[in-house]
Amino acid sequence: MIYIFGSGVAGLSAGISLRKAGYKVTIISKKIRSGSSYWAKGGIAVATSADDSPDLHAQDTIRVGDGLCDVKVVNYVTHEIRNVISTLEEWGFIFDSDLRLEGGHSKRRVLHKTDETGRELTNFLLNLALKESVNIIEDRLLGLRTKDGRITGFVTEKRGVIDADKVILATGGYGYLFKFTSNPDTNLGEGIAIAFKAGALVSDMEFIQFHPTIGFFGNEPYLLTETLRGEGAILVNDKGERFAFQYDARGELASRDILSRAIYDQYQKGHKVYMDLSQIGSFEKKFPILSRYVEKYGKKIQVFPGAHFTIGGIRVNLRGESNIKGLYAIGEVSDTGLHGANRLASNSLAQNLVYGINIPQYIDRWEGLEVDDFMKIERIRVKSGVRLTIEEIRENNWNYLGIIRNAEGLSKLISIYENADTISNTPESFASLISLLASKSAFLRTESRGVHYRDDFPLKTWKDGKRIYFRMVS
Ligand code: FAD
List pLDDT tens digits, range 414-448: 999 999 999 999 999 999 999 999 999 999 999 99
For 212-251, the DSSP string reads EEEEEETTEEEE--HHHHHTT-EEEETT---GGGGT-TTG
Give the whole-angstrom CA distance, residue 7 versus residue 123: 10
Amino acid symbol at 299 = K
Q: Which of 336, 256, 294 is nearest to 77 (CA)?
A: 336
Give the whole-angstrom CA distance, residue 47 versus residue 63: 16
Judge whether 256 counts as a catalytic residue. yes
pLDDT of residue 328: 98
Determine whether the shortest distance from the Cβ of 336 to ligand 1 is under 6 A. no
Phi/psi region, residue 99 (left: phi>0; alpha: psi -120 to 50; beta: rest), is beta
Give the whole-angstrom CA distance, residue 103 versus residue 321: 31
**Confidence band for 102, pLDDT divided at 50, 70 and 90:** confident
Distance of CA 299 from the midpoint of ligand 1 (Å): 28
Distance of CA 353 from the midpoint of ligand 1 (Å): 12
Distance of CA 332 from the midpoint of ligand 1 (Å): 7
CA 450 vs CA 158, 190, 296, 339, 370: distances in Å: 41, 25, 37, 10, 25
- Residues β-bridged to residue 302: 274
Letter string b/e over residues 271-289, b meaning 16 or more CB atoms within 10 A of that residue's CB:
bebbbbbeebeebeebbee
pLDDT of residue 219: 81
Residue of 123, 157, 207, 349 to test ligand 1 pocket, by largest number of atoms within 8 Å of CB: 349
Distance of CA 35 from the midpoint of ligand 1 (Å): 4
- Residues β-bridged to residue 215: 222
Contact between 168 and 333 under an 8 Å Cβ cutoff? The reply is no
Nearest residue (by CA) to ligand 1, atom 38, is 40
**All structural domains of the chain with their residue ranges:** 2-204+311-374, 212-307
What is the rounded average pLDDT of the residues 129-154? 97
pLDDT of residue 371: 81
Determine whether the shortest distance from the Cβ of 43 to ligand 1 is under 6 A. yes
**Confidence band for 375, pLDDT divided at 50, 70 and 90:** low
Q: Which of 451, 467, 228 is nearest to 341 (CA)?
A: 451
* Cα four-point dihedral sign 235, 280, 52, 207: positive
Share of residues in the chain with pLDDT > 90 (%): 86
pLDDT of residue 254: 84
What is the rounded average pLDDT of the residues 448-462? 97
Which class for 49: exposed (0-12), middle (13-18), buried (19 or more C-beta within 10 A)?
Answer: exposed
Determine whether the shortest distance from the Cβ of 102 to ligand 1 is under 6 A. no
Contact between 448 and 459 under an 8 Å Cβ cutoff? The reply is yes
What is the rounded average pLDDT of the residues 24-41? 95
Residue of 31, 32, 37 to test ligand 1 pocket, by largest number of atoms within 8 Å of CB: 37
**Confidence band for 128, pLDDT divided at 50, 70 and 90:** very high
Asked whether residue 320 carries a pLDDT value surpassing 60, the answer given is yes
pLDDT of residue 286: 84
Determine whether the shortest distance from the Cβ of 28 to ligand 1 is under 6 A. yes
Determine whether the shortest distance from the Cβ of 29 to ligand 1 is under 6 A. yes
* Vertex 181: Cα angle to 255 and 465 (nearest 5): 50
pLDDT of residue 140: 98
pLDDT of residue 374: 56
Give the list of residues 6+ apart from residue 399 with CB closer than 8 angstroms, or none: 409
What is the rounded average pLDDT of the residues 117-129? 96
What is the rounded average pLDDT of the residues 440-468? 96
Asked whether residue 246 carries a pLDDT value surpassing 70, the answer given is yes
Asked whether residue 230 carries a pLDDT value surpassing 90, the answer given is no
| Three-state DSSP state, 473 | coil
Read off the DSSP letter of residue 270: T
Nearest residue (by CA) to ligand 1, atom 52, is 331
Determine whether the shortest distance from the Cβ of 34 to ligand 1 is under 6 A. yes
Q: Which of 242, 248, 246, 245 is nearest to 274 (CA)?
A: 242
* Helix 427-444 with 390-400: angle, nearest 10 deg: 10
For 388-447, the DSSP string reads --HHHHHHHHHHHSSSSB-HHHHHHHHHHHHTB--SSSSHHHHHHHHHHHHHHHHHH--S
pLDDT of residue 402: 97
Determine whether the shortest distance from the Cβ of 141 to ligand 1 is under 6 A. yes
Determine whether the shortest distance from the Cβ of 37 to ligand 1 is under 6 A. yes
Determine whether the shortest distance from the Cβ of 125 to ligand 1 is under 6 A. no
Read off the DSSP letter of residue 454: B
Report the C-alpha dihedral over residues 394, 306, 125, 167, rounded to 10 degrees. Answer: -40
CATH label, 212-307, candidates 3.40.50.1980, 3.90.700.10, 3.20.20.80, 3.40.50.2300:
3.90.700.10
Asked whether residue 370 carries a pLDDT value surpassing 90, the answer given is no
Strands 110-111 and 273-276, by their bridges, are unpaired
pLDDT of residue 180: 94
Asked whether residue 333 carries a pLDDT value surpassing 90, the answer given is yes
* Cα four-point dihedral sign 431, 37, 267, 103: positive
What is the rounded average pLDDT of the residues 75-81? 98
What is the rounded average pLDDT of the residues 338-360? 96
Give the whole-angstrom CA distance, residue 438 versus residue 367: 28
What is the rounded average pLDDT of the residues 268-287? 93
In this structure, how many other beta carbons lie within 10 angstroms of the beta carbon of residue 461? 10
Residue of 3, 12, 13, 36 to test ligand 1 pocket, by largest number of atoms within 8 Å of CB: 36
Query: Which atom of ligand 1 is closest in space to residue 222's alpha carbon?
Result: 34
**Confidence band for 373, pLDDT divided at 50, 70 and 90:** low
Query: Which atom of ligand 1 is closest in space to residue 7's alpha carbon?
Result: 9
* Vertex 294: Cα angle to 291 and 299 (nearest 5): 115
Query: Which atom of ligand 1 is closest in space to residue 32's alpha carbon?
Result: 9
Give the whole-angstrom CA distance, residue 329 versus residue 342: 20
Across all residues in the chain, what is the average pLDDT?
Answer: 95
pLDDT of residue 114: 84
- Sheet with 220-223, edge to edge strand ranges: 220-223, 208-217, 304-310
State if pTM tops 0.90: yes
Name the least confident of 67-81, 124-138, 279-293, 414-428: 279-293
What CATH code is assigned to 2-204+311-374? 3.50.50.60
Contact between 309 and 37 under an 8 Å Cβ cutoff? The reply is no
Nearest residue (by CA) to ligand 1, atom 26, is 346
Give the whole-angstrom CA distance, residue 206 versus residue 442: 5
Q: Indicate which residue of 19, 109, 256, 343 is catalytic.
A: 256
Contact between 450 and 343 under an 8 Å Cβ cutoff? The reply is no
Query: Which atom of ligand 1 is closest in space to residue 122's alpha carbon?
Result: 2
Name the least confident of 133-137, 204-208, 251-255, 416-420: 251-255
Determine whether the shortest distance from the Cβ of 41 to ligand 1 is under 6 A. yes
For 14-72, the DSSP string reads HHHHHHHTT--EEEEESSSS-SGGGG--S-EE---STT--HHHHHHHHHHHTTT---HH
Q: Complex ipTM above 0.95?
A: yes
